[in-house]
Amino acid sequence: MAVKVLVLGGGSGGLVAANKVKALLGREVEVTLVDRSEYHYFLPGLPWVAFGMREVDDIRRPLANVEKRGIQYVKAEVQAIEPDANRVVTDQGTFAYDYLVVSLGAEPQPQPTADAVAPWSPDGAMALRERMKAFPGGRVVIGVSSPYYPCPPAPYEVAGMAEFALKVKGVRDRSSVDVFHMNPAPLAGMGPVISERVMRILEEKGIGFHGGFEFAEAANGEIRAKDGRTLAYDLLILVPPFAPNRVVRSSPLAGESGFPPVDRRTFRHVKYPNVFVIGDTVNPSLMLPPAGVVAHFQAEYIAGVITSDLKGAYIGQPFDPVAMCIMDFGDNALLPQCSFEKVLEGTGMPSCGVMAVGRWVRVTKMLFESYWFATLIG
Ligand SMILES: Cc1cc2nc3c(=O)[nH]c(=O)nc-3n(C[C@H](O)[C@H](O)[C@H](O)COP(=O)(O)OP(=O)(O)OC[C@H]3O[C@@H](n4cnc5c(N)ncnc54)[C@H](O)[C@@H]3O)c2cc1C
């Protein structure tokens, strides 16, 4: 009988894991992918939706497309994970498994202020587009409300795109653009080389940066930091806070912090060896960034680990704790790359460098989007 592999979440990690397990093991496995959404979203495309380069339909594909690849797709809300019984309860029934892959992402929390928008969801991207359409120019402020949010570089990309959009609209001369973050410098966790390069791009575009600015509240067109500093705005783009995924947090998989404890090399749960947890659901607890590229490489790797379990041995791709992100600033772009090898070993900081810079780099992000859809869900 085929081994049952159940994948929770059809985002970056889950979609790659389901594809890779099926590709490696074929008829030996029955792969089922569960997601409450009808669609897989290419989330790096959300800022493009906000600034008119894409429509929502352009950056998503029906998850049912995976059935052409021999993967069963079930549209269902996961309600409970019961690893002691090897089953998962959903609003469409209970699913038994031999292997479970959990890639349910991070859980967005409500916006702390009603007048903020953020392209961190399709609705948020469309809301920002509407605000930009009606915006006569003025003070644009972009920032984050908590340290945990998908894609650490994205707020800087959004600031760059907003600045470029104001130029295109012809209102740049009567506008200002400012970014705030709780970190002392942009992408401080990636070290000085990346920080300085991002800072230079912001300066070239006349974008102000406010470091060490911990969001406290926003009201009447003014944001206040915990240290009392204020920033006035006419348009506020605020990344909402995120929390560890609710279903995982309330399951026996959760550790004390709410994040599930996993082996740092194999992403196997320390108590349930047939359960793997990858992506934004677990990465902040491993000091890895909540980024699609990390979820992608983890998914490929754990597919190899499951294959090794079933075949006795399989040496596929070694796990490469590398993250590269094409940062699209609208009229410029940057490709930083970081290795998180020392972070995973617990011996040091990520080692990072700049692989490319220039407006042509934007094209590589668009090419990657096409490659992603074609290879995973076309
Ligand atoms: C604006 C933006 C820009 C980004 N840009 C980049 C970038 O340029 N490069 C990069 O590497 N990363 C980028 N990211 C981050 C990247 O998209 C995420 O890190 C990545 O998608 C995480 O993958 P995941 O599988 O952990 O979770 P997700 O991709 O979030 O997938 C989680 C899935 O689980 C489903 N789900 C959750 N709870 C339940 C439930 N209870 N029942 C059923 N289904 C459920 C959701 O519907 C979703 O489909 C960006 C993110 C955003 C928001």
- Please write the tens of the pLDDT for every residue from 175-198: 999 999 999 999 998 889 999 999
How far does the centroid of ligand 1 lie from the alpha carbon of residue 156, in Å?
A: 18
CA-proximal residue: ligand 1, atom 1 (nearest): 120
The amino acid sitting at 297 is: F
Q: What's the chain's average pLDDT?
A: 96
Q: Which of 366, 350, 360 is nearest to 195 (CA)?
A: 350
Hey, what's the torsion of the CAs at 342, 346, 347, 353, to 10 degrees?
30
Same domain, 69 and 145: no
Atom of ligand 1 nearest to the CA of 15: 25
Same domain, 132 and 232: yes
Which among 187, 214, 241 is the end of a domain? 241
Same domain, 63 and 178: no
Summarize pLDDT for 8-57 with one digit per residue, the tens.
Answer: 999 999 999 999 999 999 999 999 999 999 999 999 999 999 999 999 99
Summarize pLDDT for 161-176 with one digit per residue, the tens.
Answer: 999 999 999 999 999 9
Summarize pLDDT for 79-123 with one digit per residue, the tens.
Answer: 999 999 999 999 999 999 999 999 999 999 999 998 999 999 999
Same domain, 230 and 253: no
Same domain, 119 and 231: yes
Tell me what pLDDT residue 330 has.
96
Instruction: Flag whether pLDDT at 317 surpasses 90.
Output: no
pTM score of the predicted model: 0.97
Summarize pLDDT for 255-286 with one digit per residue, the tens.
Answer: 988 899 999 989 999 999 999 999 999 999 99
Residue 252 lies in a domain: yes
Atom of ligand 1 nearest to the CA of 149: 53
Same domain, 235 and 271: no
Tell me the average pLDDT across 50-78: 98
Atom of ligand 1 nearest to the CA of 76: 43
Which among 241, 270, 296 is the end of a domain? 241
Tell me what pLDDT residue 50 has.
98
Q: How many domains does the chain have?
A: 2
Residue 375 lies in a domain: no
Same domain, 234 and 256: no
Host domain of residue 170: 110-241
Residue 175 lies in a domain: yes
Tell me the average pLDDT across 120-134: 97
Ligand 1, pocket-test mutation among 7, 8, 12, most atoms within 8 A of CB: 12
Tell me the average pLDDT across 302-323: 90
Same domain, 20 and 122: no
Pocket of ligand 1 (CB under 6 A): 9-14, 35-37, 43-44, 46-47, 77-78, 103-105, 119-120, 150-151, 154, 247, 279-281, 290-293, 295, 325
Ligand 1, pocket-test mutation among 59, 104, 278, 288, most atoms within 8 A of CB: 104
- What are the C-alpha distances in Å from 96 to residues 1, 7, 73, 248, 262? 14, 11, 15, 17, 21
Tell me the average pLDDT across 200-225: 97
Atom of ligand 1 nearest to the CA of 278: 26
Residue 335 lies in a domain: no
Tell me what pLDDT residue 319 has.
85
Same domain, 206 and 306: no
Report the b/e string of 200-214 with b at 16+ CB within 10 A. ebbeebebebeeebb
Ligand 1, pocket-test mutation among 109, 151, 335, 340, most atoms within 8 A of CB: 151
Atom of ligand 1 nearest to the CA of 326: 8
How far does the centroid of ligand 1 lie from the alpha carbon of residue 12, in Å?
A: 6
